[in-house]
Amino acid sequence: MTYIRLFFLLSLLVFVPAAWAADVVFPPGSRLGIAPPAGMTPSHTFFGFEDRTHNVAIVIVTLPPEAYAELDKNTDAETLKKQGVTFDKREEFSVPAGKAFLVIGRQEVDQIKLHKWIVVASLPDLTAIVTAQIPDDASAAYPEDVIRAALSSLTVRASVPVEEQLSLLPFRVGDLGGFRVGGVLAGRAVMLTDAAPEASSSTTSAQMVVAIAPGAPAQSADRDAFARDVFSTVPNLRDVRITSAEPLRIGGQQGHQIMAQGKDNTSGADVTIVQWLRFGGNVYMHLIGVAPRDAWTPAYARFRQVRDGIEPR
């Protein structure tokens, strides 16, 4: 999907404004924030803010920095018309951290008539799209000057605090084992790594992924085959050879462990891999640790620290 297609896909969304709030607020997990209008609070279902009573939302999307040039070139009346948006005007727009433009238009979705304000901003290392969607019957509560003030407060922070990133997970990571948080998939997974932020993606240092997923087998007799199937989906490895596979208890619950040898798919370096599955109800926790073979012993001890410090929320 090109950036311009994503831009217009977002323009079709209808989500759930009126005095100006003084302080910039960052939705949990987002590097982008605004000073939202009074009455709007951070959403629990998307990055942005909403007022469910008035069916009003401000949606924040982060894209790579190169997306700005494409959006700047292709955001015009004709292209908007093809997406069902009636173009009113486009203008240069001022935000604290970079250059931006503002598109104002109208749209009708599911018989709801909307006013739309869309800011596209080129910030130091990313492109931001901030879309305010206001139903006609909420326009008195959210006049244009209030929306403009909120959009013009767009701010980017250097990073998301680790504690905030981890709060987006459905489990608690009590011990990071000395690893750095490399990334979080909200509601699903965390990647831990020894690699520096600017390092390449190849496995030249210890890495661990902890995720939760649905679909665990109900019968213990099916778990070995299930664990092997899950292990076969682990990416970025080649020449993998399983050296052991056995059931074990993890955190007081039924689990399964696989140990294996292989090579990093990019660098060709020899690596050792451990997979743990922890079963509970109709979901399971999936933990994968990968480390260079010559650094395996201390890495394995740290992987176990992380594993044994995980608790459900």
Q: How far apart are CA 129 and CA 154, in angstroms?
A: 10
Task: Determine whether 159 is exposed, middle or buried from the number of CB atoms within 10 Å of its CB (0-12, 13-18, 19+).
Answer: exposed
Task: Encode pLDDT of 24-41 as tens digits.
Answer: 999 998 999 999 998 999
Give the amino acid at 133: Q
Of the candidate ranges 7-16, 184-193, 234-243, 262-271, the one whose mean pLDDT is the lowest: 7-16
Q: To the nearest whole percent, how much of the chain has pLDDT over 90?
A: 68
Q: Could you tell me which residues come within 8 angstroms of residue 40 by beta carbon, excluding any fewer than 6 positions away?
A: 17, 21, 49, 50, 51, 56, 58
β-pair type (48-51, 56-63): antiparallel
Domains and CATH numbers, the chain: 3-156 (3.40.1000.10), 162-312 (3.40.1000.10)
Q: Is the pLDDT of residue 88 over 50?
A: yes
CA atoms within 13 A on the CB side of 166: 17
- The full DSSP string for 89-122 is EEEEEEETTEEEEEEEEEEEETTEEEEEEEEEEE
Distances (CA, A) of 95 to 100, 156, 195: 7, 10, 34
Q: How far apart are CA 35 and CA 146, in angstroms?
A: 11
